[in-house]
C-alpha cells in the first residue's frame, strides 16, 4: 500500500474510529458509509472502546513479504464489545495461552516495515486485558 493510502486510514488504525448509524444505532467498524444493518447512509463518527474478546485465533509462521521479520505471530478475529468483528494481531501473549473468549484490549504497535527505505506502519493490535490478568 502507498503512503497516502495508509495515511487516510490513520483514525481507524490509531484510535479505532468507526461509525454509528443514525437510523438503527448499529456501531460500524471499519467505517463504510452505508450501514450494513439497515442500508441507510452512516456518516457519524464513533470511537470504539478498544475492548473485546477473542473470537478466533491462529499462530502462523508463513507470512507475506512485509511481515517476514515479525514471524511468528498470532492473527485473531476480535469481537469488539460494541459488536463488530475486527481482524488483528494479538500481542504480549504466547500463542498457547490464547483462548476463544479471552478478554483483550487494543494497543498501538508496529505492524510492518517496507524494507530499509520504505514506510514503517503502526496500527492496532490486541493484548490480554490487563485488569483481567491475575
Partner 1 sequence: MREVTIVGIGQIPVSEYWTRSLRHMAHDALMAAWQDSGVEEVDTLYVGNALADELSDQKQLGALVADFIGQRGIAAARVEAGDASGALALHQAYLAVASGMYDTALVVGVEQMSAALPVEVISATARFLDQEYEATMGATLNSIFALMMRRYMYEYKVPRDAFFAFPSTAHQNAVNNPNAMFRKAIKESTYKRIAMISEPLNMFDVAPICDGAAAVMLCATDKLPVLRHDGPPPVRIAASTVATDAVAVHDRQDPLFLEAAFISSQLAYRQATLNQTDIQLFELHDSSSIMAALSLEACGLAPRGEGARAAAEGLIALDGPAPISTMGGLKARGNPAGATGIYQVVEIAQQLREETGANHISGAQAGLAQSIGGTGATAVTHILTQL
* Shortest distance, position 15 Cβ to partner 1, whole Å: 15
User: In the structure grid, which three cell numbers stand for residue 133, read together?
Assistant: 490478568
Would residue 7 be called left, alpha or beta, if left means φ above 0 and alpha means ψ between -120 and 50 degrees? alpha
Q: Pick out residues in 31-90 that bind partner 1 (CB under 8 A).
A: 32, 36, 55-68, 70, 73, 75-77, 84-89
Q: Does 26 bind Zn ion (CB under 5 A)?
A: yes
Q: What angle do CA 103, 109, 43 make, to 5 degrees?
A: 75
Compute CA distances 17 → 11, 28, 93, 97, 107, whole Å.
Answer: 6, 9, 25, 29, 14
120 lies in the site for partner 1, by CB under 8 A: no
- Residue 25 touching partner 1 (CB under 8 A): no
Please give the grid coordinates belonging to residue 121.
Answer: 506502519
In this chain, which of 18, 19, 21, 86 binds Zn ion, going by CB under 5 A? 21
36 touches Zn ion by CB under 5 A: no
Q: Which is nearer to Zn ion, 29 or 126 (CB)?
A: 29
Residue 104 C-beta: closest distance to partner 1, Å? 14
| 5 part of the interface to partner 1, by CB under 8 A | yes
Length of the chain: 134
Amino acid at each position: 500500500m502507498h503512503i497516502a493510502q495508509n495515511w487516510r486510514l490513520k483514525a481507524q488504525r490509531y484510535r479505532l474510529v468507526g461509525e454509528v448509524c443514525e437510523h438503527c444505532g448499529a456501531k460500524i467498524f471499519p467505517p463504510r458509509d452505508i450501514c450494513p444493518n439497515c442500508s441507510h447512509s452512516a456518516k457519524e463518527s464513533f470511537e470504539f472502546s478498544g475492548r473485546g474478546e477473542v473470537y478466533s485465533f491462529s499462530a502462523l509462521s508463513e507470512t507475506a513479504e512485509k511481515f517476514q521479520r515479525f514471524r511468528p505471530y498470532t492473527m485473531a478475529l476480535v469481537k469488539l464489545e460494541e459488536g463488530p468483528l475486527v481482524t488483528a494481531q494479538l500481542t504480549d501473549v504466547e500463542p498457547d495461552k490464547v483462548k476463544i473468549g479471552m478478554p483483550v484490549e487494543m494497543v498501538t504497535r508496529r505492524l510492518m516495515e517496507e524494507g530499509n527505505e520504505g514506510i514503517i506502519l503502526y496500527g492496532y493490535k490486541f493484548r490480554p486485558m490487563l485488569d483481567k490478568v491475575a
